Amino acid sequence: MDYFSLCMDALNLAGQGMMHIYFAGRLTRKKQKLWYFAVYILLLCALQFISVRLALDDSLSIAVGMLELYAVSRFGMGNQQGVSWLAAVLAFYVSQLSFGIINSIEAALYPYFIGNPLLYPLLLAAQGIFFGLCIGCYHAVLKLLAWIEDSQPPYIGLLLFPGLFIFAAELYILHTAYSFFAPVISLEEVGKHSTLLLLQAMGLAALLCTLYAYRQLCQGFQARAELQSLTQAAHAQKVYITEAQARYEQTRSFRHDIKIHLSLLDGLLKNG
C-alpha cells in the first residue's frame, strides 16, 4: 500500500502541476514552455517532501503552493501581479474543490471496500475522475474569463476577493471535515459526506455564477464603450455635415455675388 500511495502521490502532483501551468498560460494567453512545467512540478515535489517531513498543516502547504504558481506566472510567464494572483487562486481553488468533491464520494464509499481487491482500481478511477472534473472546471472558467479583443478584462483584480473568500470556505470545510476520518459504515456518516458534497457543489456553482456575472459586466462595459464610440462618430459626422452645408451656402452666395457683378459689368460695357 505504501508503494501504491507513493505512485498515487506522484501521479497527483504531476497531473496537478501540468493542469495548473496549462490553466495559468491559457488564462493569460501566454505560450507554455516545457521548463515552466518542469520547474513548477519540481517545486511541488519539494513542497510535498518538506510537508511530509515536517508535518506541515495542509493550509500552509496550499498557501506555499499558490505562491510557487504565482512566482512562475509572474516571473516566468511575465504576467501582471493581479492576473498572476488570480490565476494561482483559481487554479488551486478548482483543484481543491474537485478534490473535496471526490473525497466526499470516496469517504462515503470507502468503508464498503476495505480489504476488497477492487479498492485499488476504484482509487485509480477516482483519480481519473478528479482530473476530468478539474479539466472541465478549468474549461468553464476559461470560457467565462475569455479576453476581450485580445486585451485584459477591466477590473480583473476585483475577482480576487470573492475567489479568496470561497477558497477559504472550501479549505475550512476540508480541514474540519476530513482532519480525522473514521472508516465507519453508518447512515449518519453517509449523510455527513453527502452534505459536504452538496456544499462543495454549491461552492463550484457560486464561483461559476460570480464569473458569469463578471463576464456580463465586462460585456456591458464593452457595449457602453462601443455606444460612446458610435455616439462620438455620429456627432462628428453631424458637425461635418453642418460645416459642409455652411461651406455650400458660402459658395452659393459667392457665386451669386459674382453673377451680379458680372451683370453690372456687362451693363456698363454695353452703355459705354
123-182 pLDDT, tens per residue? 888 889 999 999 999 998 888 876 544 455 566 666 767 767 777 776 776 666 655 555
pLDDT-derived band of residue 28, with 50, 70 and 90 as boundaries?
Answer: confident
- Angstrom CA distances, 21 to 17, 66, 110, 177, stand at 6, 12, 31, 29
pLDDT at 247: 74
Residue type, position 194, single letter: S
pLDDT at 21: 94
Q: 179-227, pLDDT tens digit by residue?
A: 555 555 667 667 777 788 888 888 888 888 888 888 777 777 677 767 7
pLDDT at 202: 83
User: Positive or negative, the Cα torsion across 184, 189, 190, 192?
Assistant: negative
Q: Which residue has the higher pLDDT, 67 or 168?
A: 67
Domain ranges of the chain: 2-227
pLDDT-derived band of residue 71, with 50, 70 and 90 as boundaries?
Answer: very high
- Angstrom CA distances, 119 to 6, 15, 132, 133, stand at 16, 21, 20, 21
3-state secondary structure 100-159: HHHHHHHHHHHHHHCCCCCHHHHHHHHHHHHHHHHHHHHHHHHHHCCCECCECCCCHHHH
Per-residue pLDDT at 106 exceeds 90: no
d(CA 157, CA 162): 10
Task: Report whether 102 contacts 16 (CB < 8 A).
Answer: no
| Average pLDDT score, the chain | 78
Per-residue pLDDT at 12 exceeds 70: yes
Q: Which residue has the higher pLDDT, 28 or 265?
A: 28
pTM: 0.73
Per-residue pLDDT at 272 exceeds 70: no
What DSSP state is assigned to residue 55? T
Set of cell numbers at residue 263: 451683370
d(CA 210, CA 93): 14
pLDDT at 148: 47
d(CA 12, CA 5): 10
